Structure 1
Amino acid sequence: MLVPIKWMKQYVEINTDDKTLADKLTLTGSHVDAVIDYEKKVTNVVTGKILEIEKHPNADKLIVTQIDINKDEPVQIITGAKNVNVGDVVPVCLEGAELPNGLKIKKSNFRGLPSYGMMCSYEELGFDDKVIPKEARDGIAILPPDTELGKDIKDVLELDGSALEVEVTFNRPDCLNIVGMARETAATLGTKFKFPEIEIKNEQGDIKEYLNGVEIEDEDLCSRFYAKVIKDIKIGPSPLWMQRTLMDAGMRPINNIVDVTNFVMLELGQPLHAYNLEALSGRKLIARRAKQDEKIVTIDQNERSLSDRMLVIADSEKPACIAGVMGGYYSEINDDTKIMVLESANFNPKSIRETSKKLGMRSEASARNEKPMGYVMVELANKRACQLIEMIGAGTVVGGYLEAGRSEYEAPVVTLRPHRVPWLLGVDIPVDDMLKYLNLLEIESTFDGEKIISKIPYFRTDIEQEADLIEEVGRLYVFENIESAPLLGSTRVGRKSDKRNLEDYIKTILCGIGLYEITTYSFISPKSYDNICVSSDSPLRNYVRILNPLGEDFSSMRTTLVPNMMEVISRNSNRGVDNAKLFEIGSIFIPKEQPVVNEPHEKIKLCIGMYGNYDFFDLKGIIEAVLSRLGIKVSLKPVTDNPSFHPGRTAAMYVNDDLLGIYGEMSMEAAGNYGIDHKVYAAEIDIEKLLEHKDTNWKYEPLPKYPAMVRDIAVIVKDEILAGEMIETIEAVNPHLIESVELFDVYKGEHVREGYKSTAFSVTYRNKERTLTEKEIESIHKKILEQLERKYEAKLRM
């Protein structure tokens, strides 16, 4: 932001040179990037009034002018400019004049007639093209008609002074204006600050005779709306002092009304907007959400399509302005405007920022409205603009105002404990100095013996807590005055959490078995749940929706890792990779509520995927290898109601009644959705459950001294009887003597009737104290058969 020092001096006493001022402001937190010198090297250029204009007798494109420069005789100047008329007051370069571009003026001869100088433009006087009034961009600079003649142009246009180029941080919108920077300057230099005196001297009539009301329909997007009416509008150029002030601040003068609103925005930081009252249907203004796909033609004459997340200022029929961003074309001030409404409002910064970005429209007004600003300034800025309009004779202010929303300001109170200052700043500062610094910043502060009590002014929306006050004290004390010191604190050895260590251990196990690790995005397409055939009422469809996704394929946060695994398998399979064993350890996200308000639960899952020369038991073996290394023993239950998996080749793993995960063959439909025409096996396991149940406190025993004895047993049971349950039953017969039980055969076919199967187990017996006898084994074996018959109606296969 450009801060003309000459303008700032109207509100604060500056008793130092520009360079020192810039350095001091930087040291107290207002970063000054540069000091810009506005001094123009112009000599022997004066003001003159055109008395006569005649065509050049020997040149069609030239004219001969006689110009009064307040000397005995007028000066003859020949020019080709098209924008000059008799009576215009213009800058006149006399013989010997020198301009900023290095041009030196001398007497010239044009087709037989002498010219004793030239009239010049703003560009030739050294002004940047972007701040020159449009009507003067391609021609001679036209000065106000009451300009004194023969006066040095440097005095008339004030071609001197300097400006500070200041980088204002997002949290300090109070500094995005001249008054705010003057306030900072006063606190930095310890001088007095003076707020502009605002007084409207001649209000006429009653606003209710002209405007039927203002309303706020969506207070979450607009907290305050304030309006005044100005009649008898006379559109024209603003006074030269105002034009020059705006130009020094980097803005182009437009006309008196627009210039006033821009002047106040730069002066006080509050954007304003003027409407042609006679163009407003119903003569009222309403702050409301736009309707979805509602249209408005903005002042740049482009049609914009709006969404219902955007705020507009509308009349009783249609939008008149995109709130805080850009005005509407049909309601803008034009040369025929006679009565206008001046609006100032306090908008939701987030809404303005999103609207500006969505529409690709950014302006000085939107840059301010998208930052948190106090709603008190709404009224002050509006009245200041009315004061200036009255002062420059651009209109008559109508008495009264209309407003909606909050207006009374109750200053928040923040306390500061002085003993906390050394902890955060590393330096002792006397309480009296703290009070002095805070009060210099207009933060009204007192000390009650224990703490400093501060009332936060309306313009400091960034101060919310004790640390903010300490920062204010520190920056006026000047951080550079705080001596550097080593950091204090105890040194601790960092380590990974148990969960991270478990993840690393599982990765080591799986990589050792021959699996490859993959990493995928946490964002997936909502269609992914359809691809793996998730049922419509499944909890997996309760996902977090992304408000601003990169695209539809990244618009939801995953609740399962399986879709990502299937996509990787599909990609590899389609590129000629015949076999693959893959795994991923990653996060899933479960929302706590819908719509999402709080952060979702984040859980870590292990997903394994295989295809090619592998089967169900290969996957089962991998999982058992992991579980055995973690000391976890699970029971298996068949899964028949999960549409993502094959109903006859899928198992769920439990520790007691706690579900650890699921593994099995993917359903043909799910595989087909990914263009896979062969069997795919997958597993998804909860890492946090593994951590909860793992037991790696290994107990070591000496090798057995006595031999084991092995007996096989084959029984016929119904198809639905699970081998795992039968193994648990066998082990429970005599846990001390039955060392292990292994399933080694399942047979269905000849000699086994329909609906039944033959299941064969190998039972290993051992006594650690002595050698078992045949009789003892036969007794236990007999009990095993009895238990299997009793619980499962098992029959010994002969």
Structure 2
Amino acid sequence: MKLSLFRLKHYIDISLSPEELANALTMAGLEVEEIETVGKIPDGVIVAKIISRRKHENSDHLSICEVFTGSETLQIVCGAPNCDTGNIVPLATIGTVFPDGEGGTFTIKKGKIRGVESFGMMCSAKELGLSEDHKGLMLLPGTFEIGKPLQDYVPTDTVYTLEITPNRPDWLSYWGVARDIAALVGGEVKFPAPENVPVDLAGDWSNLVTVEAPDLCPLYTARVIRNVKVGESPAWLKASLAAIGIRPINNIVDITNFVMMELGEPLHVFDMRFLKGERLVIRRANENESITALDGKKYDLTTNDLVIADTEKPVAIAGVMGGEYSGVVGDTTDVVLESAWFDPASVRATSRRLGLSSEASYRFERGADRAMIVPASMRAAQLIRELGSGNVVSPLISVAQPEKPARVIDLKYDRVRSLLGMDVGNRRIDDILHSLGFATVRQSESGASFSVPSWRDLDVMGPADLAEEVARIHGLDKLPDVPIKATQSDISGDAILKITHLREQLAGVGLYEIVSNSMMSEASAIRGGIFEPGDLIRPNNPISLDLAVMRPSLLPCLLDAVRYNIARKNYDLGFFEIGHVFCANQEKYPEERDEIGIAITGCAHPERYSKERGQQYDFFDLKGILESVLTRRRLASFSFVPATDPRFLPTCCAELIIDGKKAGVLGQATEDLTKGMRLTTPLFIALIQLDALLSASTKSEYYVPVSQFPSVSRDVAFIAPAKLRNQDVIDFIRKLHLPHLESVSIFDVFEGKAIGEGKKSLAYSLVFRSPDRTLTDDEVNVLYEKVRKNLA
């Protein structure tokens, strides 16, 4: 958020320099990211008056103006559409130096434009660096003295860019920041809203507002203002908005934006001509209802969205954005001024679902101050009367649910000192909390009870929060230096080293490591049918519905990573992640464990010199990756056995067995998992228990010299049941303990009518080699026959 120091000083007297104030705010938790100086008008820019205008003979868009500088009349050629006679404008005289926007400068000189001499340049606000408005000349008030330097009327300003934490929506306004500055450095804050606004009652407005969803809108207020004159805002108002990056639109809209920045309460103004039945109904959207918002886009609504409607249709998305056809335009005369409080969760959900955000939604979804609704309405009504000539013709129409009493927190002074680790006096604690708006309800020698002000109701919950407020204002830099005490990690150094090596091995086979959020939505967590809602671990105060549960598996994270990349046309993917997963055990107690997740899809080697793409990943690529890693870790015993899992295709799924126990599962993801991903190739996923891998028994390595003698090969084929596994055959042959048998590998599988249903033909290559001599055919034939007879 941007904040103007010039405007801030309207609410509190500040004696600190801009840099000192920035440092004080940052130390109090309100981080100042950037300090920018704006409004530095170049020397030579003066206040001037256009006394005549005529058309340029050699141009259809240029004008020749006579401009009075207070001492002489100059001829200026100008292309602005508003260089009308009588206007008071900024004039850059000859010799004025401007920055060129690229680190250099340029100087205003006497010149000829289309054959006509020009002795200076009349300026827009953008050319002076005051705003982004470049549609025409900057028009100055008639109170400015002709010939005076413009710098005398436009003071240099300092603009802060602030990083506002989500728990401090009260800082999203000048008034909220001024309150904290008063607590930090002293001083009295000046509340801008009037106690009342003159009302010229006309008409019966008792049925103007109806709230049908009080759970989402517990407080809604409205005022009817007639005979409004919509026009350009005065210079001070445009400058106040432009300094903080808000584009001025017209006086009425600018007033609502100004009050929002001033008091933190978003407002909205409806043109009464477009309110059917002159009614405002706050309700949930109907099925198949839609609205075209102020950004010109059409949005489809659901019954979970809150809208402001007239008797026929929605006219605004509550707390997010107004409708295109109910806003203030140039010929608007009668308006309804809205000031309300909308449920933060509802606004956040609607804003995220529609992909639509605004300054209003940014504040409402963090929790606006309910106590500021009426003052903000009064302040806006006051300014509309002054700057828009409007007449308030209705009282403040308010529809409100009973307000809950302020939270009261019991605080022990010794508890504050214990939490902070520094000695802060009882009186100092009281003074700090009082300066921040916390009122004393009960007092004793050992402590006090404090009521929480309305603007801190959503984040100050207990004594620790009050202690934090004391620390912020007393000074975090005053906390004593305490040496850091080392704590023993639950993970041994050996385990950390093994995990590091595992990461290197997975990266070494061509996979990219990802690190994903350990929080997710419930829908993502139960995807795949393995986990039920009751198995999930839920934090007490989730940030949002999208981060409401702790992940029970790495599967949803892998799916999200694949989906994200496929949407960006990255089709050849290989990911792995090693991380914590959380789930309730059989006794329903939370349990944390570590898991390895692997996902591959696309082509294994997509970059080739030939025009043809590389071979697609298949199940055996994934199995091969695991075999490579497990073999390098020297596991004594591991195997893969067919399995069934609802997340994987039944014909392409296996369990990893380590030391006789299930350690993981791998397979091809089902269509239910990949729905909506736009995959062009199958997706293969493995989920392995890290603990089973790290604790697995290993075998000793030994080295033998490479034989210098030739090998002898024999092939053997036989008919077997269709369900017989390749690994079972290899294990069977190995158990025959044949001398000189170097390797066994399958090279062909055949199934067909010729063999018979439920059967298949398997063909294996047997390689024999002796370390100290050349084997004879007779020796090999004897060994081969033993294999053949045992397989028969």
Corresponding residue number in structure 1 for 2:120? 117
Tell me, what secondary structure is at the counterpart of 2:94? strand
Percent of residue pairs identical: 34
- CA gap of 1:603–1:64, structure 2 versus 1, over 3 A, is closer
Corresponding residue number in structure 2 for 1:468? 465
State the shift of 1:95 in Å. 2.5
Corresponding residue number in structure 2 for 1:175? 171
Corresponding residue number in structure 1 for 2:447? 451
Cα distance in 2 between the residues matched to 1:678 and 1:444: 65
State the shift of 1:312 in Å. 1.0
Q: CA offsets per residue over residues 369-403 of structure 1, 9 Å max, x none?
A: 11022311111111111011112243111241211
Cα distance in 2 between the residues matched to 1:78 and 1:205: 52
Q: State which of 174, 184, 194 in structure 2 corresponds to 1:188.
A: 184
Mapping 1:372-521, distance limit 5 Å? 372-406=367-401, 408=403, 410-445=405-440, 447-461=443-457, 462-486=459-483
Q: State which of 634, 650, 665 in structure 2 corresponds to 1:674.
A: 650
Cα distance in 1 between the residues matched to 2:475 and 2:91: 50
Tell me, what secondary structure is at the counterpart of 2:431? helix
Cα distance in 2 between the residues matched to 1:402 and 1:8: 31
Q: CA offsets per residue over residues 671-718 of structure 1, 9 Å max, x none?
A: 99724699999x99999xxxxxxxxxxxxxxxxxxxxxxxxxxxxxxx
Corresponding position: 1:336 with 2:336: no
Residue 674 of structure 1 aligns to which amino acid in structure 2?
A: P
- CA gap of 1:184–1:291, structure 2 versus 1, over 3 A, is same
Q: Does the CA contact (< 8 Å) of 1:286 and 1:315 recur in 2?
A: yes
Corresponding residue number in structure 2 for 1:725? none
Q: CA offsets per residue over residues 49-70 of structure 1, 9 Å max, x none?
A: 2222223345555321112333
Q: Does the CA contact (< 8 Å) of 1:542 and 1:591 recur in 2?
A: no
- CA gap of 1:341–1:493, structure 2 versus 1, over 3 A, is closer
Q: State which of 149, 158, 162 in structure 1 corresponds to 2:158.
A: 162
Cα distance in 2 between the residues matched to 1:678 and 1:240: 73
State the shift of 1:190 in Å. 1.6
State the shift of 1:174 in Å. 0.6
Corresponding residue number in structure 1 for 2:270? 275
Q: CA offsets per residue over residues 104-124 of structure 1, 9 Å max, x none?
A: 223323455432212112222
- CA gap of 1:420–1:167, structure 2 versus 1, over 3 A, is same
Tell me, what secondary structure is at the counterpart of 1:103? strand
Q: Does the CA contact (< 8 Å) of 2:272 and 2:278 recur in 1?
A: yes
Corresponding residue number in structure 2 for 1:84? 83
Q: Does the CA contact (< 8 Å) of 2:292 and 2:299 recur in 1?
A: yes
Tell me, what secondary structure is at the counterpart of 1:342? strand
Corresponding residue number in structure 2 for 1:34? 34
Q: Does the CA contact (< 8 Å) of 1:100 and 1:126 recur in 2?
A: no
Cα distance in 1 between the residues matched to 2:214 and 2:174: 29
- CA gap of 1:124–1:686, structure 2 versus 1, over 3 A, is closer
Tell me, what secondary structure is at the counterpart of 1:241? helix
Q: CA offsets per residue over residues 718-772 of structure 1, 9 Å max, x none?
A: xxxxxxxxxxxxxxxxxxxxxxxxxxxxxxxxxxxxxxxxxxxxxxxxxxxxxxx
Corresponding position: 1:70 with 2:73: no
Mapping 1:345-744, distance limit 5 Å? 345-406=340-401, 408=403, 410-445=405-440, 447-461=443-457, 462-486=459-483, 674-675=650-651
Corresponding position: 1:204 with 2:200: yes
Cα distance in 2 between the residues matched to 1:266 and 1:677: 59
Tell me, what secondary structure is at the counterpart of 1:70? coil
Residue 400 of structure 1 aligns to which amino acid in structure 2?
A: P
Tell me, what secondary structure is at the counterpart of 2:413? coil
Cα distance in 1 between the residues matched to 2:648 and 2:33: 62
TM-score normalised according to structure 2 size? 0.63
Corresponding position: 1:240 with 2:243: no
Cα distance in 2 between the residues matched to 1:222 and 1:448: 39
Tell me, what secondary structure is at the counterpart of 1:391? helix
Q: Does the CA contact (< 8 Å) of 1:210 and 1:283 recur in 2?
A: no
- CA gap of 1:235–1:587, structure 2 versus 1, over 3 A, is closer
- CA gap of 1:119–1:396, structure 2 versus 1, over 3 A, is same
- CA gap of 1:493–1:106, structure 2 versus 1, over 3 A, is closer
Tell me, what secondary structure is at the counterpart of 1:154? helix
Ranges in structure 1 where 5+ consecutive residues have no aligned partner: 501-520, 533-538, 565-584, 593-598, 613-663, 688-798
Name the count of aligned residue pairs. Answer: 561
State the shift of 1:437 in Å. 1.1
Q: Does the CA contact (< 8 Å) of 1:349 and 1:369 recur in 2?
A: yes
Residue 117 of structure 1 aligns to which amino acid in structure 2?
A: G
Q: Does the CA contact (< 8 Å) of 1:604 and 1:686 recur in 2?
A: no
Corresponding position: 1:94 with 2:93: yes
Mapping 1:302-317, distance limit 5 Å? 302-317=297-312
Q: CA offsets per residue over residues 397-438 of structure 1, 9 Å max, x none?
A: 124121122365733211210111222111111101111111
Tell me, what secondary structure is at the counterpart of 2:256? helix
Ranges in structure 2 where 5+ consecutive residues have no aligned partner: 496-517, 539-543, 560-579, 596-618, 621-640, 665-792
Cα distance in 2 between the residues matched to 1:384 and 1:670: 61
State the shift of 1:604 in Å. 9.7
Residue 130 of structure 2 aligns to which amino acid in structure 1?
A: F
Corresponding residue number in structure 2 for 1:648? none
Corresponding position: 1:108 with 2:108: no
Residue 183 of structure 1 aligns to which amino acid in structure 2?
A: R
State the shift of 1:148 in Å. 4.0
Cα distance in 2 between the residues matched to 1:229 and 1:113: 53
Cα distance in 2 between the residues matched to 1:444 and 1:677: 65
Corresponding position: 1:320 with 2:319: no
Cα distance in 1 between the residues matched to 2:233 and 2:654: 80
More off after superposition, 195-204 vs 344-353: 195-204
State the shift of 1:100 in Å. 4.0
Tell me, what secondary structure is at the counterpart of 2:455? coil
Tell me, what secondary structure is at the counterpart of 1:459? helix
Tell me, what secondary structure is at the counterpart of 1:77? strand
Cα distance in 1 between the residues matched to 2:269 and 2:35: 34
Residue 396 of structure 1 aligns to which amino acid in structure 2?
A: N
State the shift of 1:543 in Å. 8.2
Mapping 1:6-17, distance limit 5 Å? 6-17=6-17
Q: Does the CA contact (< 8 Å) of 1:544 and 1:591 recur in 2?
A: no
TM-score normalised according to structure 1 size? 0.63
- CA gap of 1:185–1:545, structure 2 versus 1, over 3 A, is closer
State the shift of 1:84 in Å. 2.3
Cα distance in 1 between the residues matched to 2:107 and 2:175: 40
Q: Does the CA contact (< 8 Å) of 1:4 and 1:248 recur in 2?
A: yes
Cα distance in 2 between the residues matched to 1:57 and 1:218: 64
Corresponding residue number in structure 2 for 1:228? 223
- CA gap of 1:590–1:204, structure 2 versus 1, over 3 A, is farther
Cα distance in 2 between the residues matched to 1:141 and 1:360: 36
Q: Does the CA contact (< 8 Å) of 1:224 and 1:345 recur in 2?
A: yes
Corresponding residue number in structure 2 for 1:633? none
Q: Does the CA contact (< 8 Å) of 1:666 and 1:680 recur in 2?
A: no
Q: CA offsets per residue over residues 460-499 of structure 1, 9 Å max, x none?
A: 222121111101111111011111113579x779589xxx
State the shift of 1:234 in Å. 0.5
Cα distance in 1 between the residues matched to 2:95 and 2:551: 74
Cα distance in 2 between the residues matched to 1:675 and 1:236: 72
Cα distance in 2 between the residues matched to 1:243 and 1:227: 25
